[in-house]
Chain A
């Protein structure tokens, strides 16, 4: 693994205004992402994990500049791309790709497999390949994601979920990307298929030196594939650390609860595990609580937690936690 930083996100904020009434009066804001910072090294897999509504997808999309962030900076390859125009962004569009959760709705149902991949190759303005070279590239890409060449003339509806996700990956790879944001890429798949796709991600990374930002809600999947993980809650990162450390030594009360909520299949381990069941529900990001976003559900919460929002602070090697309780 190389050590240079490919992506840096500083104090990223993404607020969506809500409009109400006939005159479209601004009625409030959804603070989907409220001050998130992290960096991703070249060649690593950075996991973003959290429950629905925590803002993990919004972070992923802001990185790719699908959204224009409200505040904060996104630095890609040393360049601040936060306020780039569409035109300025275009030079990075191919380098930064996305893989979506639902491979069915992200593929054109009227396009054949071959044409979906071919389009991704030929839309490149600098593409100087001849027709036969493009065809060869399509074959090569399908082979790379382990799809049979005979699939070329099929349509997405004729494929299984796993095959469709492979096609989604092939399309992303057609652009020779450096960074791929994977948004819940395996959660729509059957359990026996998930492992095939996860292994494919790992193989492709080794072969092509890809950098992944892996967004998912399944902690076990994220831990399996990631080098480092950020745990998100209500638009904030509450803990960032190495994947092994996160499981062996979680510090934030929310991370602990999240980990204990996931049952494991090892019978003896499972029977001995401590279970923390959180009370209540995730508050709405429209009326986010003051201070620490987790304090209404936290059993350790003090007066300080209600008033002051904790910052990420270092506790041990490469381990950052945003919590007042941990000293």
Chain B
């Protein structure tokens, strides 16, 4: 397989929040990349830093208390972190080049403006078109996301629509300016399963049809298995495992990934198969010691794990693209 050109390369990104309790290292030296036309998933539980990572890419982290401390974010070869948070350059990227779909479609849509006003505003910010043209493009975007009677729907307010419809509007806003990369942060978490399937199928058909790239941030392992090409697993602000979906789902190497897969009930399981939970709770990332953050919950942890410093990502096998941050060799343990 020939290597595709990376669209987005994130290197050693660090974002912290400075709270009264101490520094929260929400994103702690995170590196990843997204190729053209690729669907990449960032998987982790709440509080692992998966959303903050994405917000940092577009400098949407509120400062203070948050602050991007370091790293590089190369998008099409340009380092986005060099631009100021309110600079013209970054604003030209947000929405137009990289667009974001948020989890809560109700809170990310403005309740006092109609769908049409919000949609055409986005278009007019990024394109030099008249109001009329922007409106027409908005109607077109709504039609693309499968909203019936888009002309009438443009005049609706967000509260007049169902959750699935609102999420479709968010997708319409995200694709209205023909961005090359869509970041979907928990796009279907608030939705019912059949609506989730509808929205995901729609997103995928748009991404594949228009040859876009997408980052899906989620905790839903099934969703990832179905839709992602590659996966990054995050825990306590760090990426602890990465690889293709097939490699990670078939041969997970980090005890946390293994634990997650064993603890999620699966429709295809044999009846009566016991779930093996991960004991304990995810850590609060304040003043964590310099060692593997999963150590206290890890059933395989050894004395060495407790004493050694934080393991870095290493290839599972020499030359492989499947990377894991663990002192132990977990091959063949699933």
Given the interface pairs A195-B275, A270-B222, A270-B226, the reply to whether A220 lies near B265 with Cβ below 8 Å is yes
- Mark out the residues of chain A between 232 and 265 whose CB falls within 8 Å of any chain B CB in the assembled complex: 243-244, 247, 257-265
- Mark out the residues of chain A between 257 and 305 whose CB falls within 8 Å of any chain B CB in the assembled complex: 257-270, 275, 277-279, 281-282
Would B267 and A191 count as touching, CB distance under 8 A? no
Would B266 and A191 count as touching, CB distance under 8 A? no
Would A264 and B222 count as touching, CB distance under 8 A? yes
Interface presence of B197 (CB below 8 A): yes
| Distance A224 CA – B275 CA, assembled complex (angstroms) | 9
Would B246 and A160 count as touching, CB distance under 8 A? no
Would A223 and B265 count as touching, CB distance under 8 A? yes
The 5 closest A-B pairs by CB, nearest first: A263-B222, A195-B277, A195-B263, A261-B197, A263-B226
Interface presence of B281 (CB below 8 A): yes
Interface presence of B92 (CB below 8 A): no
Given the interface pairs A195-B275, A281-B195, the reply to whether A219 lies near B267 with Cβ below 8 Å is yes
* Residue count of chain A within 8 Å CB distance of chain B: 43
- Mark out the residues of chain A between 169 and 207 whose CB falls within 8 Å of any chain B CB in the assembled complex: 190-196, 198-199
* Residue count of chain B within 8 Å CB distance of chain A: 45
| Distance A266 CA – B250 CA, assembled complex (angstroms) | 7
Main secondary structure of the interface of A (DSSP, over half): helix
Would B282 and A190 count as touching, CB distance under 8 A? yes
Smallest Cβ distance from A221 to chain B, in angstroms?
5
- Mark out the residues of chain B between 225 and 279 whose CB falls within 8 Å of any chain A CB in the assembled complex: 225-227, 245-246, 249-250, 259-269, 271, 274-279
Chain A contacts of B150 at CB under 8 A? none
| Distance A59 CA – B207 CA, assembled complex (angstroms) | 41
Would B277 and A193 count as touching, CB distance under 8 A? yes
Among A52, A224, A247, A270, which residue has its beta carbon within 8 angstroms of that of B225?
A: A270
Given the interface pairs A192-B45, A195-B276, the reply to whether A261 lies near B194 with Cβ below 8 Å is yes
Most chain A CB neighbours (cut-off 10 Å) among B220, B245, B271: B271
Interface presence of A51 (CB below 8 A): yes
Interface presence of B19 (CB below 8 A): no
Smallest Cβ distance from A152 to chain B, in angstroms?
19
Please, could you name 21 A-B residue pairs with CB atoms under 8 Å apart, sorted by A?
A51-B193, A51-B194, A190-B281, A190-B282, A191-B45, A191-B219, A193-B277, A195-B275, A219-B267, A258-B193, A263-B223, A263-B227, A264-B225, A265-B222, A265-B261, A267-B246, A275-B197, A278-B198, A281-B162, A281-B165, A282-B192
Smallest Cβ distance from B84 to chain A, in angstroms?
36
Would B225 and A267 count as touching, CB distance under 8 A? yes
Would B249 and A265 count as touching, CB distance under 8 A? yes
Chain B contacts of A13 at CB under 8 A? none
Interface presence of A162 (CB below 8 A): yes
| Distance A58 CA – B177 CA, assembled complex (angstroms) | 44
Given the interface pairs A52-B192, A160-B281, the reply to whether A221 lies near B265 with Cβ below 8 Å is yes
